[in-house]
Structure 1
Amino acid sequence: MLFKNPNATHAPYPVELAGVLNRETAQKSKQWLSSWPLLNANATPLCSMMGTAHALGIDMLWIKDESKRSKLGSFKALGAPNALINLILKHFPSLDAEKILLGEYREQLADFAVVSATDGNHGRALAAAAQSSGCPCTIVIHAQVSQEREDAIAEYGATMVRITGNYDESVEEADRIAKENGWIVVSDTSYEGYTEIPRDVMQGYGVMAAETAEQLEAQQQIPTHIILQGGVGGLAAGVFSYFWEQYSSNRPTFIVVEPSQANCLYQSAIQGKPASATGSVDSVMAGLACGETSKIAWEFLQPCVDFFALIDDEDAIDAMKQLAHGEHGDKPIVGGESGVAGLALLNKLAKQGQLKEIGINRESSVLVFNTEGATAPALFQELTGLTAQEILVKQVK
């Protein structure tokens, strides 16, 4: 399903939005995070997928591979840590930002407790950043979060709380726990009266865009289309805002893709305001299984996303297999359930003869983001027939 957003504009990046998210602050976040040992020192690869591009009937396809970002396995390694640094600086302004995640202020931060709800990756990144800095951390998970994902978060020393409801109910529980204990919520979704920390999470995601812009510039390339995953909207807002500011009124076509049953951004586009999903929300794409739109993210998405699109779980699984097995002669990639959504959409539209509806043709250059690797290794192997390690071995042959 496709929805063309009537509110999308190709005007220059608005000054009022630049006051919230901008390229200068993204570069500052990039510098702060560069000292964290859990992140790889180099930029994640921008992979040219020429075989897949040919199969799709387009000129170029790039995949920004966030599975290579860190052992945490996803782009979330940029958002929560950046927000935590900003939060700590707000309460302890004399600290050196680049030393916080090195653990040099453990004694001062021993009682600075944080809490968050998660589907997996955000909570894991926050737990890791809190452990590195010395902050106590509690993570709330919901009924659909697998034991495998819970264990991956607990590995970083977080106190785990599991509820019987869904993701949105876990967000409410994290807020309740924070108020009860005087802790601070570090969430990637915003709601009434809570926007500053989600903004800093989104700004961390801008690091991906900054890297990608530099990589594309080195190739003297500009994408015609950029596709990003939905979720609550924070990733898309953090990345699209950077490219909108970078390219101004000549920006690429921006597209957001979500699971059919977790379509809160799609519904927001139809209604013209932040809205809730109409489906069950539960999806194999766990990182995108969100039912409520982030209000601050929507301020960026409503005026810049040209199309909103939906895919099914089977579309994502097929794309995972395609990347894992290196189909069409491309180098194999460890693409997780949520990570492959952009490619899954391209495949679906190509099969249905709908690429032209979003302006994609044989001259188009498309950029997608593999936002996670095998963050649930057992599930990944079950769905693809390969382990992440087997794919990594193939990558170097």
Structure 2
Amino acid sequence: MFLPNRNVLHGEPLDAADAETLGIAGADTVEHFLDHRHNHAMTPLHALPALAGELGLGTVHVKDEGFRLGLGSFKALGGAYAVFRLVLEEAGKRLGRHVDVEDLDRAEVRSVAARMTLACATDGNHGRSVAQGAELAGARAVIFVHAGVSDERVSAIARYGAAMVRVDGNYDDSVRQAARVAAEKGWTVVSDTSWPGYERIPGLVMQGYTAIVREALRQLGEPPTHVFVQAGVGGIAAAVAGHLAIVLGAARPTFVVVEPARAACVAGAARAGHVVKVAHDQPTVMAMLECYEASQVAWRVLARAADAFMTVNEDDAVSVMRRLARPAGSDPVVVAGESGGVGLAGLIRAVAENRTELGLDGKSRVLVINTEGATDPLRYAELVGMSPADVLAGRLAAEATP
């Protein structure tokens, strides 16, 4: 499925609140917080010249979030950042003075954090970030996971001391239960999706993702002409598209949102002109993108800043995982999880089917994001035919060869 953005808001400036969230000052705040993370490092940007040549494009670059802050996913930037902001705001209220990120380890701030419980629903990666942020800040985390979340991913979250709650149903069911239980118990929900009356915290999560765009623009020789980003509820796509629209203005790249055909809730919103709950049947291998209702905030941004919406099939996602693990020519090895390479899968399909509509040609400079590494190593090995450790060993061996 390929759907140009025909929304009446397409190309209009972002809503004032969203522009504030995703703008330059917000991104500055994110970088200030990241400067105080002991394991923060800019993630790599890989050029894929062999693939670009095959596709008839000028350049293809992949921003690799597979090792972000030790969590293996771009979501390391969002949930933990929102947790830190919320803990510091609560500490400021209780202590009657301004507190900043460098105060997180002070006894009086940690005393406030210890009385806070942060809750969220997750497919895996967002929950790890919230749990890690809570552990670092000294708060308690309760993470709700639906029936489709693997035991491997549940264990990865629980390592950060979070209490885990299994929920029958899918991701949307876990979101509703997390919100209900948190309201009953007076906990704070740190969700990466939004709904009417609940927007600020998901906005903070999205704000955390602006670090990816900042880094990529610094690493690229010149801005991209096209960007393909995958979507679950739409948060990462909206953060990237929104920040690019603000900092590049009329020079912004053509932006394409890519989703699993089995869980295309952002495309559903694009068709309807507003957020809708899309029907679902079989689960998708792209587990981190299996969402059936888009975030209200994300859709508000994407209605203005996205240029097209498209879907990819199950085989497309797995094929890209394998291609990145066994690249052609001088292209580097990249470990991409089931959802990590979906933007690239969209690019490959778009070149075959929508090249003219998107203006993809030999001068195009395309940016995609590997949003996750092998966050479920067993599933990765099953799909790729090699363990992530063996894939990385091959990369290290290639890099060591003179």
- Into which bin does the TM-score normalised by the smaller protein fall? over 0.9
Q: Deviations over 1:210-238 (max 9, x none)?
A: 1111112xx2x121101111111111111
Aligned to 1:115: 119
The answer (yes or no) to whether the contact 1:226–1:367 under 8 Å persists in 2 is yes
Pair 1:255–1:283, CA change in 2 (3 A) = same
Q: Read off the aligned partner of 1:395 and give its amino acid letter.
A: R
Amino acid aligned to 2:101: E
Residue 285 of structure 1 deviates from its aligned partner by 0.9
Matches within 5 A, 1:1-397: 1-7=1-7, 9-10=10-11, 15=16, 17-37=18-38, 39-40=39-40, 42-93=41-92, 94=97, 96-99=99-102, 105-216=109-220, 219=221, 221-280=222-281, 282-350=283-351, 352-396=352-396, 397=399
CA shift at 1:381, angstroms? 0.9
Displacement of 1:281 after TM fit? 6.7
Structure 1 residues 282-312: Cα deviation after superposition (integer angstroms, max 9, x where no partner): 2111111001110011111001111000011
Using the TM superposition, give the Cα deviation of residue 240 of structure 1 relative to its aligned residue in structure 2, in angstroms. 1.2
CA distance in 2, matches of 1:322, 1:249: 34
Amino acid at match of 2:355: L
Alignment-mate amino acid for residue 78 of structure 1: L
- Distance (whole Å) between structure 2 residues aligned to residue 100 and residue 275 of structure 1: 42
What displacement does 1:103 show? 7.4
Task: Report the CA distance between 1:96 and its aligned residue.
Answer: 3.8
Give 1:274 shift: 1.2
Task: List gaps (5 residues or longer) in structure 1.
Answer: none
Q: State the shift of 1:101 in Å.
A: 5.7
Instruction: Spell out, residue by residue over 1:302-340, the C-alpha distance to the aligned partner (whole angstroms, 9 max, x if none).
Output: 011110000111100000000011234311001111110
Distance, in Å, in 1 between the alignment partners of 2:33 and 2:27 is 10
Computed over aligned residues only, the root mean square deviation of the Cα atoms, in angstroms, reads 1.7
User: By how many angstroms is 1:191 displaced?
Assistant: 0.7
Report the identity percentage: 40
What is the CA-CA distance between 1:268 and the residue it aligns to?
A: 0.6
1:255 is paired with a residue whose SS is strand
Q: Which runs of 5+ in 2 are unaligned?
A: none
Quote the offset at 1:177 in angstroms.
Answer: 1.2
Residue 89 of structure 1 deviates from its aligned partner by 2.4
> CA separation of 1:194/1:14 partners in 2, compared to 1, >3 Å: closer, same or farther?
closer
Contact 1:23 1:206 in 2 (8 A): no
Identify which range, 270-279 or 287-296, moves more after superposition. 270-279
C-alpha separation in 2, matches of 1:99 and 1:284: 40
C-alpha separation in 2, matches of 1:100 and 1:233:
32
Shift of 1:19: 2.7
Paired with 1:247 and 1:289, the residues of 2 have a C-alpha distance of: 31
Q: Which runs of 4+ in 1 moved over 6 A?
A: none
Amino acid at match of 2:206: M
* Number of equivalences: 391
Q: In 1, Cα distance between the equivalents of 2:171 and 2:13? A: 35
* Matched residue SS, 1:329: coil
Q: Against the structure 1 CA distance between its residues 114 and 260, is the aligned structure 2 distance closer, same or farther, given a 3 Å change threshold?
A: same
Aligned amino acid, residue 57 of structure 1: G
Task: Tell me how far 1:241 sits from its aligned partner.
Answer: 1.2
SS in 2 for 1:193: coil
| TM-score when normalising by structure 1 | 0.94
What are the superposed Cα offsets for residues 103-152 of structure 1, whole Å, 9 maximum, x if unpaired?
Answer: 76333311111110000000011111111111011000001101111111
Contact 1:13/1:248, CA 8 A, preserved across alignment: no
Alpha-carbon spacing, 1:67–1:100, altered in 2? closer, same or farther (3 Å): farther
**Secondary structure of the equivalent of 2:22?**
coil
